[in-house]
Each structure stands twice: as C-alpha cells, then as structure tokens.
Chain A
Amino acid sequence: MQRFEPRELPFSSCASGGVDRRDFVKICCMAAAAVGLPPAAGLKMAEAAAKGLKPSVIWLHFQECTGCTESLLRTSHPTVAELILDLISLDYSETLLAAAGKQAEEAMHAAMHAHEGKFVCVAEGAIPLKDNGIYCKIGGRTAKEIMEEVGSKAGAIIAIGSCASWGGIPSADPNPTGAAGVAAVLPGKTVVTIPGCPANPYNLLGTVLQYAIFGTLPALDSKGRPLSSYARVIHEDCPRRPHFDAGRFVKQFGDEGHRLGWCLYQIGCKGPATHANCSLQHFGEVPGAWPIGIGHPCFGCTEQALAFRAPLHATVSIDRPTPPDTYPPIHPERGGVSAVATGVAGLVGGALIGAGLMASKKLGEGQPAQKEE
C-alpha cells in the first residue's frame, strides 16, 4: 500500500498523524456522500487535494454567536480536522486561527491576493449598516468595509447562518444596529445563502466541496438558498408527519401527546412553512438532533419572515403548492353505469315498445273505423 508523503499532502499532519491514500479517498467519498455528491466526486476531490488544488477559504465573522462555526466543528463525516486540513485550505478564520492581531490580518490579505477571484469567502454574522456600520469593527474597519473588500475579490461568496443571510437575531425588532445580510452589502453579486440558526454544516460543506471539485455553485432559489438543501419544507419529510395527517397534535409542552411524540404544529411548529432539510439531515450525526427531533417546534430559522419575527408559538399557514392526493375533491367522482344494466334496461324497454307497436299494428289490421257510442 502506497503511503502519501508529507510533501504530497502538505496538511495531512492531522491528529491521527498522517493518512494513507485509501483512508484519504474514503474521507473524500464520505464527505461527498454526506453532502449529496456522487462517489466519483470524492475521487476527484482526493486527486485535486493531492495536487494541492484545495480551495482557499476565508471565513469572516461579524455580528453573531459563532453557533454556525460551533456546529461545523461537531461534524464527523468529515471531521472538521479532515475538512480544514485535508479538503480545504482554511486561510483565515477568527475562531480557528492560531495567529492573532496583525499576523492574522496579514494572513487574510495574503490569502486574498494569492487566490484573488478563486477563493471562497464564507461570512458568518450580520453586518450592521446603521450609523455607517460602527457597531461591528475588526482591526479598525467596519464589517461592511471588510465584507465589501473581501467579497469583491472572492470567487464565491457564501453567507452561513440566518444572521449572514438576512440579519438573523441582530436584525430582530427593533434592529438597533440596522443589521443586514451579506447580500444587502454586495448588491449584484451571487451570494449563496445557507440560512439556519445554526446552519446545518453539511449544507455548507456541500456547497464548498461542489465549488472545490467542479468550480460551480449549486442551483439557488429566489432567496439564494441551494435547492439541493432548501427545496422542500421540513413538514414534507417530517418524521412526525403521520401524526399531523392523523390530526394528533401536542396541545402544550409535557402533555400526553408531547410525550408520545405527536405533531408540534399546534404549539407553533413552523415546519410547514420552512424550507430546509433538517428533517432528513440532522445535526452532529446524532439521530434526532434537531428541534423537532427533541420535541420542540421548528421555529423557522431558514425563513426570513419567520425566525425572530413570527411569534414563537403561533401557527403558520400551510401554503403547499401540492397537497397530497389523499384529499377528496369537492365533488368526488363515483362509479359509472354498468354496461350490463344499460343493456338489460335497453332490451326490456325496447321489447316493450316493440311489442306495443306490433300489437297496435295487429289491432289495426282489417279493423274498420267504428262509430263512437
């Protein structure tokens, strides 16, 4: 079995202390599979990584809680170590960076200029716009300035989390800092929006890896969300859906229905109006690790109009373009008319009329008109 030399795989000095080719391909394929890419993409990814063609990633933090990064750190297929060391080249990240202060700023600038037009910019957190953006500054510059500079040089821009997508918590009423999403700062640029609070790390990985391997971005919906992850509403694939269909609702936390795992719609679940794949792709590889899985209603974090705006326990309208066919129509069609029945009726009716005509003809024969009495 051939071993990769450290020079061939510059960043393979991860915790396990070096990987062989087989393991590395496995990691790549696993990563590809986890985000819905074909196994061949894993091979391609491994080859690209071996050639040192890993995408450079610059990760910016603004007004946020770092929850998105935290949830990313808890992925294990691939582990974040595998990810940042083997699959991508994470050149700047305030959370993970060993360097600090001027050193860190330089790292960012170096990466930005070395990979201009090719690097991936991941933004986490909202950008305050009010009062010239003075509410969030890094290295003396406002978040808006940083975003504009990095964004203008990036090959791909990804807004991770609801804050970066459209403001998130910082933008909740009355939005004192005028917090907005990345797209508001970079008008006209394609921003891949991966909302969620936190965003599901696999949705980010999928996007980054697709860009890394194929150099393309996923197809997006009208809000910039990858259709691969956000095309369907949570409700459609919710494991509690049968309870919804049977009309079994939790009425309050801790009631019998709650303990039995019934549908959470009535206590405010926003699943029916929330486009995300949470019901299929749980968090941190722990089965059931997602809001509905642990018995709390979905609060609609991937929808601009819902999370931090709609009351937490109010119910939503269910505007599905395609309700299932299990509803009867207003006027259901019923069984038609049996051919045998029409046949019998026709025969008997015809025979009667025929007999009547024959009889009247026979009666008429040779009968003179008779005088009335």
Chain B
Amino acid sequence: MSERAVPVGGPIVTPAFRWLLLVFGAGVIMAAWRFVAGLGPVTALSDGYPWGIWIAFDVVVGTALGCGGYAMAILVYIFNKGKYHPLVRPAVLTSALGYSLAAVAIIIDVGRYWHIWKLPFVWGWWNLSSALLEVALCVMAYVLVLWIEMSPVFLEKWKSGSPGFLRNLATSLSPIVDKALLWIIALGMLLPTMHQSSLGSVMLLAHNKLHPLWHTPLLPLHFLVSCIAMGYGVVVLEATLSSRAFKRRDETPMLASLGGVTSGLLFAFVAIRLVDLALRGRLGLVFTSGWLSFWFLLEMALFLVPAVLLVNTRSRARVGNLFRAAMLVVLAGSLYRFTTYLVAFNPGPGWSYFPAVPEMVVTFGIVAFEIMVYIVLVKRFPVLAGARQGAEAR
C-alpha cells in the first residue's frame, strides 16, 4: 500500500456499469427530445417556476456536491494539513466531474444555448450587478481550473506510458503545470468562494417570491458555509465508499478528524442562520409558516444531527456513524439549497412545480454519466491513493 496515487485497475464494464449506461442512454434521449421540441413538453417548467431541478439540483446542489475539491484544498493548502493530501485528488476529480456536468445541465436548461459562447467573450455586455453572471463566469472558469488541477493525473499516466505523442506532450507539459499549479489551486479556491456565495445572492432578487425564512442578505454566506460543509461530507462519503468498493486502505481515522471540521461548520451555519433570523425579527415565522415551517425545522434538524454526531470524537470514530453523519450533511446542504431555489420559492397562487419524468431522467442520466466517468478514471488513472493494484472491483 503506497501513499502515491495509483490506478485501481479492474474491468470497466461491470453489471453495475451497464445499468448506469442504460440510465445515461435514457437521459441522452430525453435531452435530445428537449432540443427538438423545446423545454415545455419535456419539463414541468412554467413561467411561474422558470427554474426546476436542472437548476436547483443539477447546478445548485450539484456544484455544492462538487465542493469537495474546494473544501479539501482549503484544508490542505491553507490550513496546511498535509495529512489529508491523499484525499485531495479524488476530491478534485469529483469536483471536476460535478462542475462539468453542472455546466452540461446548464446548456440543456437554458433556452437560447446558442448564445452561451458570448458569455465569457463579449465583455462589453456584462451586467456587473447580476449575481448569475458571476456564477456563470466563475463556473466556466472553475471547470477549466479543476481539469488543470486534475491534469497531473493524466500527465503522470501518459509520462509512464508507451512512447508517442501523449508521452512527449506529458513530459513537456509537466514542469509547466507543476510550476503554475500553486496559482491555479489558489484560483481553485477563489472561484468557488465567489460563485458559491453568489449562488446565494442570485436568490436575493426573488424578493417577494422567496419565503422570508430563506430570503436574507446573508444568503451568500449561508451558501458558502453550507457548500464547504457539503464538500467535506462528500469527501467522507466518497473516500469511504471507494475504499470499500476498490478495497483500498481504510481512511476512517483521517475522515473522522475531517468530521470534526465539518461539525464546526454545521454549528456555524445553524448559529448564523438563527441569529440572522432573530436579529431581523423573523424567528416567529419558524412556527407559523405552515408546511414551510416543517421544511425549515427539517433543515435545521438535518444540520444539527450530524453536527452533534460529529462533534464527539468517540462517536465519529465509528465508520458507520461517520458515514451516516456525512450523508446527513450532504442531505442537509442539498435540502437547504433545494428549498431556497424551489420549495420556498413561490411565484404566486396558481403556480405549481414538480419535475416531470423526462426532466428527472435527464438528471439521472447526468448523475449516471458522472459515476461512469469516475469509475473509468479511478480504474485507469492514478487518482486514489493506497489502492491494492489490480484489486477486483465490485
């Protein structure tokens, strides 16, 4: 077992992989239908709910789930916790995948996709007070940054591979990447800080439509804190699952101390949220907002339960607890984002939204694709550390 990242190996096309392929295929068909027939027939979107799960889940939740790379980078490079280094590469991979596919979801979702290219290039048109513009530009830039951060994975493989174009390319690029990487990684921390908070700012404009329990000037801060917590949650889940699936070294002790950090973030989130509501005199709404009260309390519970589970060193030392808590963290952050973008968003009486089946199928297809690419990359490229080479994958 080595500290270095190595490909885990094993066959790519397993029965599970075939199922994923099926789901992905269905998603592709539905997405194609959307491009032929327009958004209306394929989705449950309406003028009241112009954003559905493709935005609320694929983009807003999806990019937060892709914050593992961001969260780990903060820990390793800023707080200088080198011990977590083996977790960085897989985390960056999930981030790169999460963000890339969020970008795909955006292209499927926007109505006039053929104008997207103008976004990064026609600077003169930029509306600098648009939070969404910032999100869009940062996400585009960050996808690029993430793949550059991932590039050593490919370069390492190609360098040691058979001679040829790729090998030459890798040998010449490697030193440049190595040098630039620090500044790229710094960018990789700046960009998520900017756009994850801006994802919160986006909903500030929903003004009279977003329930006052969720509409607060602190939306950017809430989104930032929750995305970092979710990032750690995802790292724990991913590391635990991959260590089992690929029979790698158990990383529970490292993950457990990561849980400690997460716990602090969760408490911080809840505290800021409640203090903010209290200061602006909206705490009363917590119990008087009908079913949204339920969503709020559920959200609070989902944040507090893992916070409590993870605060105790003995509790989080058990991998089962750790895994459960990480799941709850991810669920909590996802719920918070989902609620802010959809559930607590009310365009007025008469409107309703629940994703249509084809709409969900596209989302499932995107997730399936993400998992498939992850499997291929970790099996063939040096992503995961401490794997037993050639171990039989499930």
Contacts and interface: CB of A to CB of B under 8 A. Distances in A.
Interface residues of A, number: 28
Task: Tell me what chain B mostly uses at the interface: helix, strand, loop, or mixed.
Answer: helix
Contacts of B350: 331-334
Nearest to A343: B357
Contacts of B371: none
B311 interface: no
B323 interface: yes
A372 B263 CA distance: 15
Contacts of B44: 337-338, 341
A219 to B, nearest CB: 41
Interface string B324-346: 10010000000000000000000
A360 B327 contact: yes
B193 interface: no
Contacts of B319: 363-364, 367, 370
A373 B254 contact: yes
A340 B357 contact: yes
B360 A361 contact: no
A341 B356 contact: yes
B354 A334 contact: no
Contacts of B95: none
Range of interface residues on B (Cβ < 8 Å): 35 or more
A364 B354 contact: no
Interface string A236-266: 0000000000000000000000000000000
Nearest to A340: B357
B315 to A, nearest CB: 9
A359 interface: yes
B354 A345 contact: yes
Contacts of B351: 334
A227 to B, nearest CB: 38
Interface string B240-270: 1100100000101110110010000000000
Contacts of B348: 331
B83 interface: yes
B305 to A, nearest CB: 13
Interface in A350-373: 356-357, 359-361, 363-365, 367, 369-373
Contacts of A356: 327
A359 B241 contact: yes
B253 A337 contact: no
Contact of B354 (A341, A348, A360, A370): A341
Contacts of B317: 369-372
A373 B318 contact: no
A322 B59 CA distance: 48
A373 B83 contact: yes
Interface string B77-101: 0000001000000000000000000
Contacts of B323: 359-360, 363-364
A334 B364 CA distance: 27
B357 A341 contact: yes
A364 B360 contact: no
B352 interface: yes
Contacts of A373: 83, 253-254, 257
B369 to A, nearest CB: 16
A373 B259 CA distance: 12
A341 B359 CA distance: 9
Interface string A81-96: 0000000000000000
A342 interface: yes
Contact of A345 (B46, B318, B355): B355
A344 B357 contact: yes
A263 B250 CA distance: 84
Given A338-B357, A341-B354, A367-B318, A360 B254 contact: no
Nearest to B237: A356
Contacts of B281: none
A364 B321 contact: yes
B50 interface: no
Contacts of B256: 370, 372
A304 B129 CA distance: 61
Given A341-B360, A361-B320, A363-B244, A369 B257 contact: no
B313 interface: yes
* Listed residue (A331, A332, A359, A361) with the most chain B CB atoms within 10 angstroms of its CB: A359
A348 B364 contact: yes
B46 A334 contact: yes
Contacts of A348: 360, 364
B349 interface: yes
A324 interface: no
Contacts of A338: 44, 354, 356-357
Q: 9 closest pairs, A vs B, by CB? A: A364-B320, A369-B317, A337-B354, A331-B349, A331-B350, A360-B323, A372-B257, A360-B324, A373-B253
27 contacts: A331-B348, A334-B350, A335-B352, A336-B352, A337-B44, A337-B352, A337-B354, A338-B354, A342-B354, A344-B357, A345-B355, A348-B360, A359-B323, A360-B324, A361-B320, A364-B319, A364-B321, A364-B323, A369-B314, A370-B253, A370-B256, A370-B319, A371-B253, A372-B253, A372-B254, A372-B317, A373-B253
Interface of A: 331-338, 340-342, 344-345, 348, 356-357, 359-361, 363-365, 367, 369-373
Given A370-B253, A373-B254, 6 more contacts: A331-B350, A338-B356, A357-B324, A360-B320, A364-B319, A371-B253
